Amino acid sequence: MESRLSFIVLFIVMRISAAEVVKKNLTGTVGGSVTLPGPLLEKGYITFGGKILASVRQGEFYIDEEIYTHRLHWNKNSGNFSLTNLQRNDSGIYTLDNKGQRMISSYKLTVYDAVPTPSVIKSNVSSNSCSLMCSVDGAEETTLSWHRDEKIVKRIRSAVSLSLIVFRQDFNSSHRCVATNPAQEKTLEVDVKTSCEHNNTESRDGKDQRHHKILIGIIISIVCGVVLIPAVLIFKWNYVDQKKTTTRETQGRIRGHETRSRVY
């Protein structure tokens, strides 16, 4: 009786392993595509949420759910399926059932939003350190991390920014800010050596330039005061006043002199 029972159990186990179930997690990005590896070559079907989406019969592909007409593809040579223009609601379990070989492949697909592109700004640059702030728009499911050479030096989940202070002895190392979710990764390289030192010299240049401008301003004022004003006055005296005095000679010399004194 017991051996009969164990035979039945063994038989069931054999049946299950014969109908080989492959479980695999897949990830995708909204707008992207994913390959559901077959092979499903001669006959079988692909399901999602218990519905048959498409079938393969005698090596031909037939769409069963109309909304997949332009999104679900089948590669005749490899027997793989691909789903394009992914949306969040494509997340779920897909199965490929190969009737002929009694093979069932099951894939759990999770579709994530595209990872936002990180951006980095420098702040508080001093002669021996440089503060960097890496940030992204929208942090849902996004992990931010700072990498120095091949090491992760800082990491945070579901945050919009992550700062890092780099000291002079690390200026020569390579630095990267990486934004990831389970489906995608975006990296921003930061050349700390040039950006932080350049920033320093830039601000010094800026100060120098401001000094130059002030200096030029002073020189122009002096030039104006020393050269231009007397020149104008001399011009006025020579041409305008003398014209006046000549035309108003009858008004007498004293009055003309007074006018000149007032101008000075």
Ligand X SMILES: *[C@@H]1O[C@H](CO)[C@@H](O)[C@H](O)[C@H]1NC(C)=O
CB of 221 to ligand X, least distance (A): 38
CB of 139 to ligand X, least distance (A): 21
Q: Which residues are within 8 A (CB) of 186 and not within 5 positions of it... i.e. 6 or more apart?
A: 115, 116, 117, 118, 178, 179, 180
Specify the DSSP element, H or E, that contains 187.
strand 184-190
Burial profile 232-258: b = 16 or more Cβ within 10 angstroms, e = fewer: eeeeeeeeebeeebeeeeeeeeeebee
User: Torsion-angle region of residue 149: left (phi > 0), alpha (psi -120 to 50) or beta?
Assistant: left
**Beta carbon nearer to ligand X, 80 or 259:** 80
Residue 89 binding ligand X, by CB under 6 A: yes
Q: Which of residues 68-87 bind ligand X (CB under 6 A)?
A: 75, 78, 80, 87
Q: Which residues are within 8 A (CB) of 196 and not within 5 positions of it... i.e. 6 or more apart?
A: 122, 125, 130, 166, 171
- Applying CB under 6 A, which of residues 3, 17, 169, 261 lies at the interface with ligand X? 169
- Applying CB under 6 A, which of residues 126, 194, 203, 209 lies at the interface with ligand X? 126
At 139, is the secondary structure helix, strand, or coil? coil
Report the residue number whose CB is nearest to ligand X.
37
User: Torsion-angle region of residue 134: left (phi > 0), alpha (psi -120 to 50) or beta?
Assistant: beta
**Beta carbon nearer to ligand X, 32 or 37:** 37
CB of 61 to ligand X, least distance (A): 15
- Applying CB under 6 A, which of residues 32, 37, 182, 256 lies at the interface with ligand X? 37
Residue 67 binding ligand X, by CB under 6 A: yes
Binding site for ligand X (CB under 6 A): 23-25, 35, 37, 67, 75, 78, 80, 87, 89-90, 108, 124, 126, 129, 169, 172
